[in-house]
Amino acid sequence: MDRRTACLHQANAFREKAIADPEHHDQWIDEAIKWLERAMEASYHAVITVEADDTCCAPEPARTAAIETFASRPRVIARQ
């Protein structure tokens, strides 16, 4: 389950608590709103994974500056 879906489930659980507990209705609705906002944020952001490369931390002295700059950058993988 992705983060957005998990947040939506949590919001729904607090909405149901609000219905079942009229005395604390406003408190549960406030919590549901927080989880809905988190779900919205999760849908706008991509997950970024950075993989370290074995060559990034110990560059060889024979490399040229351009190759060293390129090789020392970690690879970035983005997922929606």
pLDDT (average), residues 31-49: 83
**What pLDDT is attached to residue 76?**
52
Q: Rounded to a whole number, what is the distance in angstroms from the first to the last CA of the chain?
A: 13
pLDDT category, 16, cuts 50, 70, 90?
A: very high
- What domain range is 26 assigned to? 1-45
Domain count, the chain: 2
pLDDT category, 29, cuts 50, 70, 90?
A: very high
* Whether residue 52 sits in one domain with residue 40: no
Helix (H) or strand (E) holding 5: helix 3-20
Residue type, position 43, single letter = S
* Whether residue 54 sits in one domain with residue 20: no
Pairing of strands 47-51, 75-79: antiparallel
* Whether residue 52 sits in one domain with residue 65: yes
Query: Which residue reads 């408190």 in tokens?
Result: 27
Query: Which residue reads 């110990």 in tokens?
Result: 58
